[in-house]
Amino acid sequence: MPASADNSHPDRGLSILTGTAGGPVVAMEEGLSFWGGVDVATGTVIDVHHPRHGVSLAGAVVLMPTSRGSCSGSGVLLELSMAGRAPAALIFSEAEDTLTLGAIVAAEMFGRVIPVLRLPAEAFATVAAAGTASISPDSVEIEGLRIPVAQPPPHALALEARDRAMLDGTEDPALQQAMRILIAMARQQGAAALTDVTRAHIDGCIYAGPANLVFAETMEGLGARVRVPTTMNAISVDRQNWQAQGVPPEFGGPAARLADSYVRMGCRPTFTCAPYLLDDPPDSGEPIGWSESNAVIFANSVLGARTAKHPDFLDLCIALTGRAPLAGAFLDEHRRARRIVDVELPDGAGPEAWPLIGYLAGHAAPDRVPLLRGLAGARPSQDDLKALCAAFGTTSAAPMLHVEGVTPEAGTMIDASADRVVITRAQLAEGWARLNDGPDAVDLVAIGSPHASLAECRALADGLAGRRRKPGVAVIVTAGRQVIAAAEADGTMATLRAGGVDVIPDLCWCSISRPVFPVTTKTVITTSGKYAHYGPGLSGCAVRLGTLDDCIEAALTGHAPPRQPDWLF
């Protein structure tokens, strides 16, 4: 048998979450984000960019190196579990947090067991080639071959007196439940201790289905109250206007209840997926407990704050206790670049270069922190870095990146063993062609994934220059309440309204649903690399990445032919 990541059991896999299961094997060479990548109603892969697009994961033994993308994947897995459409088991070859946490919550709170295993490379490849697999607490069996698995080796998780007090329930049952989940995650991560955090950001307020609501209201019913300042991600409805917008009450009602439950637990109703745009972003070195993939990557990379990429549900546990596993990007060793990516960026590149670079950098470093070189001369703005981090998070599992000459730790956090790859000019052109491909007739212009900044709202308003969108073409911006208030104050909102632009608070493109998403839409154009990736699976429409000029042309004429930006020629 091959070597394992567990040195005490070199011939065995690890049983991260023990159970019994079996089913057909669905093996993936590429990681998958369950949010935006798996249909919660069927368990089918809907990520059109993934090699296993269209394959059903329901009842299957699913193998992938690790997951990637959205922190909300844990909520999707819980929803699939509660509805009887989850994978029978999950097998990884690398460390994985998001789906593992979803499985922990399903077992811990609802008695739904999805075994989670980690296999060494050769054993993983052997199971991946099999037709079916059976899993028991001590083995994986495939076609007459038995691969032993063992519990992870015991290690000392140092709990302070206050941790033990929360765990034994002397304070309240919500803290006890939160600590049980936190400790289960800390142990599977190999954390030696828990650490204090100064603030939290909740991603689990997005409504993936009834399971999200059951979790939140169960915790609220146990008396849960956050003990550190806690912001909230974009939710799934415009909280004040969803009924007037025609959102069906069977969706809008539970989605609003979910948001309200978190607010009653003490979270601030910020409802933004870009909490770093708020008035009080974290400081360099500040330990925080954030969820939401783009926010985590921006906080670590651009602000120099410290947070692991916490899955949904763990975010609330952190907010309730003020504690997080001391693992991942809290530690220097997991912040070091282990791959140097040289980017051949042509002169004159516009803002559209940054989501493209982030998307390709994630493919170049799907499982490790990269250092991007060759970009400092382009002098990226905060919005450029926002787009870079968000797109990177769709294609990589890493919690951060470095940009030489730009981000604060780029000169110090480089591993001595880091290898090198290049993103060539030809690869930039090919990547743009792939993401920009689609019909030239456009029905919807989508701005704000992550939420638009005030500068982005102004740029759109300036680009319209007093002209009005063509009838039949929708132009929608999603933005946080604070940004919208600032845009009202400086007249930007009035200009956008005069141009026929709708600016919607609270929800984001990755959580928008019909009829707020116009029901007749067939083709969408966006400036967001994140939404260009997730949008086709989430909306069922063609979604193209374009320049801001492309988006303005589409708004005014209904057409934006696929084409490369001038700087790529």
Whole-number pLDDT of residue 156: 79
Which residue in the block uniquely carries the two structure tokens 């892969």? 45
* CA angle, 189 then 39 then 522, to 5°: 130
- Report CA-CA distances (Å) from 225 to 78, 173, 262, 268, 326: 22, 11, 9, 12, 22
* pLDDT tens-digit series, residues 171-223: 789 999 999 999 999 999 999 999 999 999 999 999 989 999 999 999 999 99
For the chain, what is the radius of gyration of the CA atoms?
A: 23
Whole-angstrom distance, CA of residue 249 vs CA of residue 239: 12
189 lies in the same domain as 309: yes
Specify the length of the chain in residues. Answer: 569
Mean pLDDT of 499-519: 97
Reported as a pLDDT band with limits 50, 70 and 90, residue 11 is low
Nearest to residue 90, comparing CAs of 52, 191, 101?
101
Which two three-digit tokens encode residue 344? Answer: 């051949």
What does the alpha-carbon distance between residue 385 and residue 529 come to, in Å, rounded to a whole number?
Answer: 12
Instruction: Let me know: does 274 contact 453? Beta carbons within 8 Å.
Output: yes
470 belongs to a structural domain: yes
The answer to whether the CB of 235 falls within 8 A of the CB of 258 is yes
Say what the pLDDT of residue 565 is: 97
Give 435's contacts (C-beta < 8 A, 6+ positions apart): 356, 359, 529, 532, 533, 544, 545
User: Which range among 10-24, 305-319, 554-568 shows the weakest confidence by mean pLDDT?
Assistant: 10-24
The verdict on residue 559 lying in a domain is: yes
| pLDDT attached to residue 153 | 76
Tokens of 25: 């094997």
Tell me if residue 279 falls in helix, strand or coil: coil
CATH number of the structural domain spanning residue 141: 3.50.30.10
Determine the average pLDDT of the residues in 83-98: 97
Domain assignment present for 156: no
* pLDDT grade for 160, boundaries at 50, 70 and 90: very high
Q: Is the CB of residue 34 less than 8 Å from the CB of residue 312? A: no
Torsion on CA atoms 151, 154, 160, 161, rounded to nearest 10: 80
- Strands (DSSP E) contained in 216-299 are 230-232, 289-290
CB 2 within 8 A of CB 42: no
161 vs 20: CA distance, rounded Å:
36
- Strand 474-479: give its sheet, edge to edge: 501-504, 474-479, 444-452, 523-526, 542-545
Looking at residues 32-54, what average pLDDT do you find? 96
Give the closest residue to 496 by CA, choosing from 529, 525, 456: 456
Say if residue 385's pLDDT is above 90: yes
Q: Omega into 281 within 30° of 0, i.e. cis?
A: no
Check residue 393 and give its pLDDT: 97
Task: Please work out, in degrees rounded to the nearest 5, the angle formed at the alpha carbon of residue 71 by the alpha carbons of 156 and 329.
Answer: 45
Domain identity same for 122 and 267: no
Residue spans of beta strands (DSSP E) within 235-343: 289-290, 323-325, 337-343
Residue 148: which pLDDT band, with cuts at 50, 70 and 90? very high
Which residues are part of the catalytic machinery? Answer: 70
Instruction: Give yes or no for residue 508 having a pLDDT over 60.
Output: yes
Whether the per-residue pLDDT at 406 is higher than 80: the answer is yes
pLDDT in tens, 267-309: 999 999 999 999 999 999 999 999 999 999 999 999 999 999 9
Residue 378 has pLDDT above 90, yes or no: yes
Integer CA distances (angstroms), 348 to 4, 196, 214, 377, 566, in order? 48, 44, 51, 10, 8
What CATH code is carried by the domain that includes residue 170? 3.30.499
* Whether 178 and 323 share a structural domain: yes
pLDDT digits (tens, 9 = 90+) for 213-272: 999 999 999 999 999 999 999 999 999 999 999 999 999 999 999 999 999 999 999 999
- Is residue 554 included in any domain, yes or no? yes
Tell me the pLDDT of the chain averaged across its residues.
95
Does some domain include residue 139? yes
Beginning with the edge strand found earlier in the chain, give each strand of the sheet holding 414-423 in spatial order.
Answer: 402-403, 370-373, 337-343, 414-423
Least confident of 3-17, 305-319, 362-376: 3-17
Tell me the average pLDDT across 425-429.
98
Looking up residue 510, the CATH number of its domain turns out to be 3.30.499.10
DSSP code at position 299: I
Answer yes or no: is 511 within a domain: yes
Give the model's pLDDT for residue 195.
98
**DSSP secondary structure, 158-221, as one string:** B--HHHHHHHTTSS-HHHHHHHHHHHHHHHHHT-SBEEE-S-EEE-TTS-SSHHHHHHHHHHHH
> For residues 545 and 547, what is the distance between their CA atoms, to the nearest angstrom?
7
**Are 381 and 465 contained in the same domain?**
no
DSSP 453: P
pTM of the model: 0.95
> Are 301 and 242 found together in one domain?
yes
Which residue among 150, 176, 199 closes a domain? 150
Last residue of a domain, one of 387, 402, 432: 432
CA angle 12, 17, 21 (to 5 degrees): 85
**Residue 423 belongs to domain spanning:** 336-432
Same structural domain, 140 and 219: no
Q: What's the pLDDT at 143?
A: 87
Evaluate if residue 135 carries a pLDDT over 90.
yes
The residues that bridge with 90 in the sheet, in sequence order, are 62, 116
The number of distinct structural domains making up the chain is 4
Q: State the CB neighbour count (10 A cutoff) for residue 221.
A: 11
Mean of pLDDT values over 124-147: 95
Indicate whether 344 belongs to any domain: yes
| Whole-number pLDDT of residue 7 | 36
Q: What local confidence, expressed as pLDDT, does residue 144 receive?
A: 84
Direct distance between the N- and C-terminal alpha carbons of the chain, in angstroms, rounded to an integer: 51
**With pLDDT > 90 as the criterion, what percentage of the chain qualifies?**
95
Check residue 543 and give its pLDDT: 98
Q: d(Cα 560, Cα 499) in Å, to the nearest integer?
A: 18
> Both 98 and 177 in a single domain?
no
Check whether residue 58 and residue 103 sit in a common domain.
yes
- Pairing between β-strand 444-452 and β-strand 523-526 as defined by DSSP bridges: parallel
